[in-house]
Amino acid sequence: MSVEIALPGETERFPNGAWELPEELRMLAETVRRFMETEVRPLEDSLPHDSAGLPADLLMPLQGKARALGLWALQTPRKFGGAGLSVLGQVVVAEEAARCRMGAFFPACGAFGGNPPNVMFSATPEQFERYARPIIEGQVGRAFTAISEPSGGSDPARAIRCRAERCGDHYVINGTKTWTTHAGTAPWGVVYARTGEPGRRDGISCFIVESDTPGLSKRPIDVMTSYAPYELHFDNVRVPVDNRIGPEGGGFHLASDFLVSGRITYAAGPIGIAQYALEMAIEWVKQREVFGSRLADKQGIQWMIADSEIELRAARLLMYQAAWEADLGRDVKVDASVCKVFGTETAYRVLDRCVQMFGALGLSKEMPLERWFRDLRVKRLGEGASEVQRMIVARELLR
């Protein structure tokens, strides 16, 4: 399935006086939801509670089924061989693909892979064919992206200290990166290192680094979730000049381009999980009896459900609006930060209420709620903490 959405003009944004998703995206959402219900969750249910991904013997056939439905390389532009979904299409898929136990970090349990790091769409044709093409074609799973460092991650322009010094036809990289996802299994990744003056945005460059390069070592970081990020240590790691993406000093610009729109799709997963949890809680309280009546008849429970529904609707519409504006080519810096903060924090509040409605069962590993609770706590920090997003919104408004 390849979905192409025509962007409306300003006067066409609210046809018939109401906002709704285009029919193509409603059909896409339904396809993804059916795939999750019939193909993904039955496989996931056969694995331990804290599994981090499907084993290859389950994942490969699942990915084959996804590709047959056109659910592959959805974020990759058409000119690079992908489906080229709009940002609005991406958030629709991301919300539905999160409706599984691993959904926070493994949407659809990895069935829809096939997207290289966004920065690779700015790479040279040679770089793209060598590194990104195998991901799109399904020969390689993922690549890592290394930005954050022990000195900080929310302000990379100032925090990046990992340094790349040019020596002839190579750069020599020294320093440490942390909180790097997928680094344990990815054969390569993109690394942002300083090539210019400290604290300057034009002093950061982006490099493709292969995981087996001498001098590069990794260690997993134990965290509250079931999926561990990695710390990367660079000790005189030599990278060919040909592996630099874009001009020297242009790395921050490349990173900021995808980080902004990435915050929009990032919010979709938590919203999808919270919506699924709410649906589960509603079914539970309708059958659970306490003190002579159903939980669903208690006003306190009804208000939890109502507040959760209200907040999720608001979060979803903020996300749709930000995605829509991005597809129209507008500046969505504020929109992206708004929907990232509201989406992740709303999802966390809703999930907390759902755990409360389930009572002790909500804390049990017989249910996915406690795993989601840990995962969604992380989402309030990832892609820039909520406080950083609020700072961005305030700074833009005060400007």
pLDDT tens-place string over residues 374-395 = 999 999 998 889 999 999 999 9
Confidence of residue 178 (pLDDT cuts 50, 70, 90): very high
Specify whether the backbone of 81 is left (phi greater than 0), alpha (psi in -120 to 50) or beta: left
* pLDDT surpasses 60 at 16: no
pLDDT at position 141, please?
Answer: 81
Quick one: fold of 144-245?
Answer: Butyryl-CoA Dehydrogenase, subunit A; domain 2 (2.40.110)
* pLDDT surpasses 90 at 1: no
pLDDT tens-place string over residues 128-172 = 999 999 999 888 888 999 999 987 656 666 779 999 999 999 999
Distance CA 367, CA 277 (A): 10
CATH 1.20.140.10 fits 259-398, yes or no: yes
48: Cβ contacts below 8 Å, ≥ 6 apart: none
pLDDT tens-place string over residues 54-87 = 999 999 999 999 999 989 999 898 888 888 899 9
Distance CA 154, CA 290 (A): 47
Q: Determine how β-strand 170-180 pairs with β-strand 216-220.
A: unpaired
At residue 45, the 3 state secondary structure works out as coil
Q: Catalytic pick from 325, 383, 387, 396?
A: 383
pLDDT at position 3, please?
Answer: 45
383 part of the active site: yes
CATH 1.10.540.10 fits 10-113, yes or no: yes
Parse the chain into domains and list their residue ranges: 10-113, 144-245, 259-398
